[in-house]
Chains A and B, each alone.
Chain A
């Protein structure tokens, strides 16, 4: 059952008691969010049904295709900035031909998945939290429950599946566009020929970097969806509550993308 009551401190509680209660509630919320993610993943086989598949395809379109323009622009300029800044430093040592490797490795290892995570957290995660939050305060989630339709299977599973597929794809796309942007800057600003830039970039692009980057993207996709859906489904108190849930979803997603990203990198390198 979806919780639809705001957390309240008991009357006449001391500050110390409030702190303990807040810590316990924080743990409970985290536990519920993890449980939500697990339940959504366990329900993945339900997507074989036509109805579930339609919703899954709709979510793939929203997560993937609708995010493409912003991802393209951000990835392109990130690659360009990365190439320019690295190129300025390398030029001091006449080593600017290596910007290809610098851009490619940064994008594959970290920047590709990180940028994709942040953009999807801001665009798709916030939209998920706002939509599910509005549905919660408008009793649409309660309506699903009274029809004995599990809101997690019906709403969260298609979203998490779509994000699990689209985040790695978009992350790879980000890496490619970023590298292209770097190549353009190398060619126009740093006098590095395109062929030299590309051969240098591909020389340093190893499978491990690619797969670790894609794994991180996959994890980010799960985290963003779980956090955003959990915040949306636990929204209370009308429009203000939906706004709060959306804000919290974006902040928590950003923080987790950063923190989890560090630990995954630490694990592999």
Chain B
């Protein structure tokens, strides 16, 4: 469980997060949507403590994450996998070496086991053929998928996805969505997804939250979300041609 209590984050003279409080339950897929620049990635970075709140507290289970330092912070982060917007791969390592990095650096696993798990992770994101290529030699979408393989290779309890499908073709985007669902349903991974892609958000999210003005203006299940009276939500849905009818026609219910 991740809990934000009255988080305020001040950046460049404005409150990017303004008294933000919410809770993410263990085993759910929590999707954060919202216009650009509203602090979605900032929220995600607070979960892994890559940013510290100006005020307020972040809890991960019974650990006060926002107060963790040193070894305690390291232990906390070991519970997370993080997919960054651009993949954030190290340019001088091959795709396979990038994926193997957390296992080589933080575990005592034998080499053949590492190789097996790297292959498995790359297979999940359909990148086994690019294992020996360098990040500079593959497309942005492939880099992102390699970043995802690296995020999940250590089998973390919580995976944070920052724009996992942006820049991907629709087929690959849906593959990533299915992978997030698979990790959630079959392995019990708690997922927090930041995205602009409402189709994906509504199909994979256990709950969807709309961030606007530094706070959530709506937090609800996908079904309730599409019927939200909140004007910001409706505007966001309409911009992606999602209506009550189209959503329920797709999900096959009314």
Contacts and interface: CB of A to CB of B under 8 A. Distances in A.
Interface in B89-116: 89-90, 92, 101-102, 104-106
B51 A138 contact: no
Given A8-B13, A11-B13, A142-B50, A147 B106 contact: yes
A147 B50 contact: no
A25 interface: no
B221 interface: no
Interface in A117-146: 135, 138-140, 142-143, 145-146
A51 B50 contact: no
Of the candidates A4, A6, A139, the one having the most CB atoms from chain B within 10 angstroms of its own CB is A139
A143 B105 contact: no
In terms of DSSP, what is the predominant structure of the interface of chain A?
Answer: loop
B77 A145 contact: yes
A146 B81 CA distance: 7
A143 B106 contact: no
Interface size grouping (class) on chain B: 20 to 34
Contact of B77 (A4, A8, A139, A146): A146
A136 to B, nearest CB: 11
B88 A143 contact: yes
Given A1-B49, A8-B13, A143-B82, A148 B77 contact: yes
Given A5-B11, A5-B51, A140 B106 contact: no
Nearest to A134: B91
Contacts of B84: 139, 142-143
B78 interface: yes
23 contacts: A1-B50, A1-B73, A4-B51, A5-B11, A135-B90, A139-B86, A140-B89, A143-B82, A143-B89, A145-B48, A145-B50, A146-B77, A146-B80, A146-B81, A146-B82, A147-B102, A147-B105, A147-B154, A148-B74, A148-B75, A148-B102, A149-B101, A149-B106
